[in-house]
Amino acid sequence: MREIDVKQITETVKNMCIDANYELSEDMKKALLDARDKEESELGKKILCQLQENLEIAASDRIPICQDTGMAVFFFKVGQDVHFVGGSLQDAINEGVKLGYTEGYLRKSVVGDPLIRKNTGDNTPAVVHYEIVPGDKVQITCAPKGFGSENMSRVFMLKPADGEEGVKNAIIQAVKDAGPNACPPMTVGVGIGGTFEKCAEMSKEALTRPVGQHSELEHIRAMEEELLTRINKLGIGPAGLGGRITALAVNINTYPTHIAGLPVAVNICCHVNRHVTITL
């Protein structure tokens, strides 16, 4: 059994919150550069150049890429041979978020009660998805999520008879409805199968898959490619002001489901698709 002190988790989470908000991952940087080169609309190109400049300033001056520094979302893949010592893991994660958002001067965007709506003042609590995996490592992905795009995300409880066409239409409809509100160019995370909550979680995790890395399933890969082409023909474009590049990627995760259902979740992320992964 490998012991990990939760203090290490706090420190790691703190740094990940700051890093994710100051600089995009290499895959996202490359995707945005490629988008700038491919965009045919003059205004769209100009916007992509401005986004590029914004990214460069954020990285060099160590300031947030966007004023909406998101709700702190984490995926923890915990090896079953790991024993956390020194306190509660969940408390350690929240302490790291608190320190990261305070020391990194990141906007505190979380309200403690969804109806009373008083800001918690330190961006806690985080939303943490845990998975127990074989081994003695801990893989942590930090993906702060802005709510301009989060608000445009959807879950569709389709019928099996809706089939593949029904799934594609639902995804396209979600992107059309999101339009400029999701701060395009977007990454479209999709979960197909499982249950109501499983497909939503899969769609969120799909956003953390590097842009350009496709599903290993041949039919899903084909669907990702087809949907990206169709979405980029919608004409929404960068910032929703028209153009070819509406989305950078469509990432689909799947899971077995019930004979009577076909759940589909679409989690849309804006051009600030933040995700950092480390392994302890």
Token match 């700051």: residue?
18
User: According to CB under 6 A, which one of 44, 146, 184, 191 is a site residue for ligand SF4?
Assistant: 146
Own/partner pairs, 88-93, CB within 8 angstroms, 24+ separation: 88/6, 89/6, 89/9, 90/128, 91/6, 92/6, 92/7, 92/9, 92/10, 92/13, 93/9, 93/10, 93/13, 93/126, 93/128
Query: With CB under 6 A, what is the number of residues at the site for ligand SF4?
Result: 10
68 binds ligand SF4 (CB under 6 A): yes
Binders of ligand SF4 among residues 158 to 197 (CB under 6 A) are 183
Rounded to the nearest whole angstrom, what is the least distance from the CB of residue 15 to ligand SF4 in the complex?
A: 20
272 binds ligand SF4 (CB under 6 A): yes
Rounded to the nearest whole angstrom, what is the least distance from the CB of residue 187 to ligand SF4 in the complex?
A: 11
* Other residues' Cβ atoms within 10 Å of the Cβ of residue 85: 9
Q: Is the sign of the CA dihedral 39, 42, 47, 51 positive or negative? A: positive
66 binds ligand SF4 (CB under 6 A): yes
DSSP string, 13-76: HHHHHHHHHHS--HHHHHHHHHHHHH--SHHHHHHHHHHHHHHHHHHHHT--SSS---B-EEEE
Q: Vertex 230, ends 227 and 235: CA angle to 5°?
A: 135
- Choose between 14 and 274: whose C-beta lies nearer to ligand SF4: 274
- Choose between 146 and 263: whose C-beta lies nearer to ligand SF4: 146
Rounded to the nearest whole angstrom, what is the least distance from the CB of residue 180 to ligand SF4 in the complex?
A: 10
Cβ(274)–Cβ(22) below 8 Å:
no
Instruction: Point out which span in 111-119, 168-176, 195-203, 267-275 binds ligand SF4 (CB under 6 A).
Output: 267-275
Instruction: Point out which span in 33-41, 65-73, 205-213, 231-239 binds ligand SF4 (CB under 6 A).
Output: 65-73
73 binds ligand SF4 (CB under 6 A): no
Binders of ligand SF4 among residues 13 to 32 (CB under 6 A) are none
Rounded to the nearest whole angstrom, what is the least distance from the CB of residue 58 to ligand SF4 in the complex?
A: 12
Instruction: Point out which span in 10-18, 106-114, 144-152, 185-193 binds ligand SF4 (CB under 6 A).
Output: 144-152
User: According to CB under 6 A, which one of 224, 270, 275, 276 is a site residue for ligand SF4?
Assistant: 270
106 binds ligand SF4 (CB under 6 A): no
How far is Cα 250 from Cα 241, in angstroms, rounded to an integer?
21
How far is Cα 255 from Cα 225, in angstroms, rounded to an integer?
19
Tokens of 119: 């800001």
Measured at CB, which residue is nearest to ligand SF4? 146
Binding site for ligand SF4 (CB under 6 A): 66, 68, 70, 146, 148-149, 183, 270-272
